Amino acid sequence: MDMFLPVLSVFSRILLAFAPSFLVPLAWAWFLDRQHHALVWAYGFALTVASGAVLAHFTHRHRRELLPRDGFLLVNLVWLVLPAYAAFPLMLTVPGIDVSKAYFEAMSALTATGATALSGLDHLPVSVNVWRCFLQLIGGLGIMLLVVAVLPLLGLGGVQLYKAETPGPMKDTKFTPRIAETARGLWGVYVLLSAACMLAYRWAGMGWADAFMHMCTTMGLGGFSSYDASIGHFQSAQVEWVATVFMALAGISFVRYFMVFRTRSLRPVTNDREIRTYASVLLLSVALVAVLLMVHGVVDEVPEAIRTSAFHVVSLATTTGYASTDYAQWPVFAPVLLMFLGCFASCAGSTGGGIKMVRMVLLLKQARRELVRIIHPRVVNPVTLAGQVMPMSVMTSVLGFMLIYGAATMGLTMVLLFTGLDIVTAFSAVVATVNNIGPGLGAVGPSGNFGGLSAFQTWVLSFAMLLGRLELLTVLVLFSRHFWRK
């Protein structure tokens, strides 16, 4: 038990840091909803503060520097428990919601997945939709990065949180000497781009409430909307283009943006191999889908085909999950391609989910290396990225991740198939949640949602979202007996 007390001590402060987030929907409820709704968010705030204070009282004598094992424990604890606190107000405000769906909705929000189990979003209180969307903003870049930025009490132990939380295979790379400064730099860029996104949505014709909510889910690449029809509700080309631009920007590493601000040069972006590949894949996919829509008569005019293609390609590739039409009704190649892009296209260090583009680049380079070795067994042909030779530890990590990624996807799909789901719904639901994409195909496609699933299926997919958000290994390491040995 002693090994848990230092982790619980830090977790108590994370709860206290998370509590003020309830004040955001409280403010919206006070001014726009019925004022009795504001009490719900006040209860959530009070419960979170009280829990954090009580836990801090009983564990304050056990503070120490975090070890690597502590970091993994704490990150998993945060992403398992905070959705429970976030789900509490939903159970008091959303008619007919049960515990499994409330937790699923909160987990989807905090992991910026965007898979919803709710319908009738247009008729929910504004504060409820604000809460769902705001959770995606703070969850997009990672609650732990925010905590490291504002809680210096973690000291050097914050490095363990950063490494456990930050997506991507090269987590030891830091661009400022202190980890707290690193986190503050990332959040500074995040807030700046978020403000620009909100103003752009307002310019495109949204009201302030809609602009705020869709800014949260655009920059967090979560894809929640305050309308069942998603972005299609607005029937606006300007809104779609604003969403497309900022989704594409949010799919790029925020580390690179920080370096652009520090160096006052675009070279950190233009010289980055991962970003160049990301842009190339998006442009090629947009052109391919646009041609497909024109050839099959889905869209008649070229500008509309480009806009429709660009919006949905960027939305799914960056794991946002917005939709302006039911793309599942397009020729089957298109929706399958969109789901496939969501598995890998976003960059490491972005708010997107999936495998990350850098891993795909390294895998392709490794495959080419093996082909060369078949022909020239003695040739020295190391895998390089940005002119640097990738160490074997990185390549082993990438290959191990991909093996576990495939096994987890197939294993969870088999569990859902065992419960009676059809193959399209089961497989696409797992792909959509493990990669934090949001909508899948079949019953959980863009014209449906996850509300028709059973409680057990919902819990399975909540676990899949957790796996995807923490990139599998951070969660699965807890199931290793070596992890628990002293």
Residue 170: pLDDT above 80? no
User: Number of folded domains in the chain?
Assistant: 1
Residue 202 pairs in a beta bridge with: none
Does the residue 329 lie in any domain?
A: yes
Structural domain includes residue 309: yes
Tokens, residue 137: 């903003």
Q: Residue 258: its pLDDT value, please?
A: 86
Q: Is residue 140 situated within a structural domain?
A: no
Give the pLDDT band (50/70/90) at residue 80. Answer: very high
Residue pLDDT, tens place only, 195-221: 999 999 999 999 999 999 999 999 999
pLDDT in tens, 412-456: 999 999 999 999 999 999 999 999 999 999 999 998 899 999 999
- Phi, psi (deg, nearest 5) at residue 356: 90, 140
Token digits of residue 13: 């402060």
Q: What is the dihedral of CA 96, 99, 101, 103, to 10 degrees?
A: 140
User: Which whole number is the average pLDDT over 371-388?
Assistant: 80
User: For 230-274, how does the pLDDT look when each residue is reduced to its tens digit (9 = 90+)?
Assistant: 999 999 999 999 999 999 999 998 888 988 888 888 988 888 888
* Range from 106-120, 131-145, 279-293 carrying the lowest mean pLDDT: 131-145
Q: Decide which of 326 and 141 is more confident.
A: 326
In the chain, the percentage of residues whose pLDDT exceeds 70 is 90
User: Which residues, listed in sequence order, are joined to residue 385 by a DSSP beta bridge?
Assistant: 388
What average pLDDT does the structure give for the chain? 87
User: Can you give the residue range of the structural domain that contains 290?
Assistant: 266-342
| Predicted pLDDT at 69 | 80
What integer pLDDT is reported at residue 485 of this predicted model?
Answer: 75
Task: Centre a 10 Å sphere on the Cβ of residue 23 and count the other Cβ atoms it contains.
Answer: 14
Assess if residue 403 is contained within a domain: no
147's tokens: 């905590």
Residue 296 placed within a domain: yes
User: Which residues lie below 8 Å from residue 427, measured CB to CB, with a gap of 6+?
Assistant: 413
The amino acid occupying position 55 is L
Residue 300 forms part of a structural domain: yes
